[in-house]
Amino acid sequence: MKSPIHWFRIRRLASAFTILTTLSAGILIGSVVAHGVHGQDKTVDTRDATPLRVPDPKILSTTFTQIAKEVGPAVVNINTETLPKEAATARRGGRGHAMPQPQAPEDGQGGDDDDNGGGDDSQGGPSGGMQDFLNRFFGGVPGQGGAQQDQERRALGSGFIVDGRGYIVTNNHVVDKADRIYVKLTTDPENDQGHRATVIGVDKDTDLAVIKIDVPGKTLPTVKLGNSDSAQVGDWVEAIGSPFDLSQTVTAGIISAKNRTIDQGVAGQFQHFIQTDAAINPGNSGGPLLNMAGEVVGVNTAIFTQSNGYMGIGFAMPSSTVVSVYNQLIGPDHKVIRGSIGISFQPTLPAAVAKMYGASNGVLISAVTPGGPADKAGLKPNDVIVSVDGAAVKGGNDLVENISPRHPGSTVSVGYMRNGQKMTATVGIADRLTTAAALQGTPETENGPNAPAPSASQSKLGLTVADLPSNAPSGFHGVVVQAVKAGSFADELNPAIGPGLIIESINRKPIHNKAEFDAIAATLKSGDDVVFEVAYPRGGRGTSLTGGTLP
């Protein structure tokens, strides 16, 4: 009789055999099924498939394409740097090196840019609500610099070349307060910062600026200027610029409106924009708006936005304004002079006021500049100006457009209503900067006609100096440095010059006072080597030398 163990072994072997048989059958069935799936067990014959190929280029040129090719090389990328002003006295200098203190003797005794308000003829009242939503482009691209005063700020914009010698039109807010301006051409290497630019002149009222670069031995490509007065609502336009630092970006749209005022304050008197739906974003500012003839009809200046980006409404300063401003900025004075009769006014005349004062239209005088042309001619607040040299004045824009182009020193015949009676007066024309400052009771702006001209030491060297104080340590002579302009020649020196140091000589010529310093500085010119001998009030009698070549 078989033992239980023997039977257990037989049953175990039988179970194993059954499992193996089942697995073998499954594998066999799987192989048969897989054999029926095409492409898994053999190479498929694809000789009947036609290979793809890149077709020959086709010229699908349009007017937009032609404009981009023709105008693109004359559109530039502008990058600016604004250095920390409050920290300028402790800056490390242009190349990151501090001025070394003289070594101690062996005995150990050594030491350690607002706009003018008021004026002609200035509109009263607050700015319009649209301005609250308007984003100017000066702030540049997110992440390209902080807003704090103690940090270096960078911004970007666009511009276009109007003269082959390097003259460029852009927006004032692109270069305003910038210490360094770099212009990058389309032919410059990708990693090249660009060409250092100089500001020729700015006009805050129209937010326009002219800058210049020097490219020796090369005539730069230029744009063609068009007549914005002939542009019509619905016309196709094209914008080229550097939104978000993406240079040579081209967008297209139409002219949505003309003569658009987006600021109801003083600035609005001189800013009558072309409105467009061509995509404009931060960085486009200063770039051209072009018609279908490839002519510049506007300078892209601002956008209406609630998202800090494109929302289909952009504004460009008309080329007719640009030409007038440019021609004055490149003139001897490098500024725009506008006529004024010395009043401020309400831009529109309410119906009730018109009835009360007997004028169906006109400009109601709010204030008169004391001693100004209108005051001398006998005009008074609450008079209503209705004509200038016989031309009807229906509102504030009519008055400004008639008066501002006139030259200071000329006269006009002003028709006005007073207490229902029509009267006339001959009124002189003055410089708007002067009348605006007088009306506000404030000094003229830094660009005003009476502003003191910067000394040679300030304009050429970037140094503000003064005579040594009476309590200066004995044995020293020269001038004491009061301030160093950020980004200037002196600021770029390595070692750097800082406030509180004493300059004892320039180019080995001893200095004893500010007059001598200014006289030597006045003789310096671009390309000259300039070497300073610098002493330290608390550093013993040791001196250090620093210098460079004037740009």
Burial string for 172-194 (b: 16+ CB within 10 Å, else e) reads bbbbbebbbbbbbbeebeeeeeb
207 is catalytic: yes
Cis, peptide link before residue 495, omega less than 30° from 0: yes
497's tokens: 């010059």
Q: How far is CA 437 from CA 172, 234, 322, 335, 342, in A?
A: 21, 41, 25, 16, 10
352's tokens: 């009730």
512 is catalytic: no
List all residues 6 or more positions away from 174 whose beta carbon is below 8 Å from its beta carbon. 78, 80, 137, 138, 155, 156, 157, 158, 159, 209, 285, 286
For the chain, what's the residue count? 551
Annotate 10-46 with three-state secondary structure. HHHHHHHHHHHHHHHHHHHHHHHHHHCCCCCCCCCCC
**Catalytic residue (one of 158, 285, 340, 488):** 285
Count the helices and strands in the chain (H runs, E runs): 11, 30
Report whether 241 contacts 249 (CB < 8 A).
yes
Question: Nearest CA to 177 among 206, 143, 195, 154?
Answer: 154
427's tokens: 């009124």
Report whether 160 contacts 223 (CB < 8 A).
yes
182's tokens: 């770099």
C-alpha–C-alpha distance, residues 280 and 5, integer Å: 93
**Catalytic residue (one of 121, 176, 207, 383):** 207
272 is catalytic: no
Measured over the CA atoms of residue 246, residue 249, residue 252 and residue 258, the dihedral's sign is positive
Report whether 206 contacts 317 (CB < 8 A).
yes
C-alpha–C-alpha distance, residues 432 and 119, integer Å: 6
Report whether 41 contacts 34 (CB < 8 A).
yes
C-alpha–C-alpha distance, residues 387 and 395, integer Å: 10
342's tokens: 């010395």
253 forms beta bridges with 237
**Catalytic residue (one of 120, 122, 158, 173):** 173
C-alpha–C-alpha distance, residues 246 and 137, integer Å: 14
35's tokens: 């054999």
User: Which parts of 280-401 are beta strand (E)?
Assistant: 288-290, 295-304, 314-318, 339-340, 343-346, 363-368, 384-388, 391-392
Annotate 177-198 with three-state secondary structure. CCCEEEEECCCCCCCCCCEECE
List the catalytic residues: 173, 207, 285
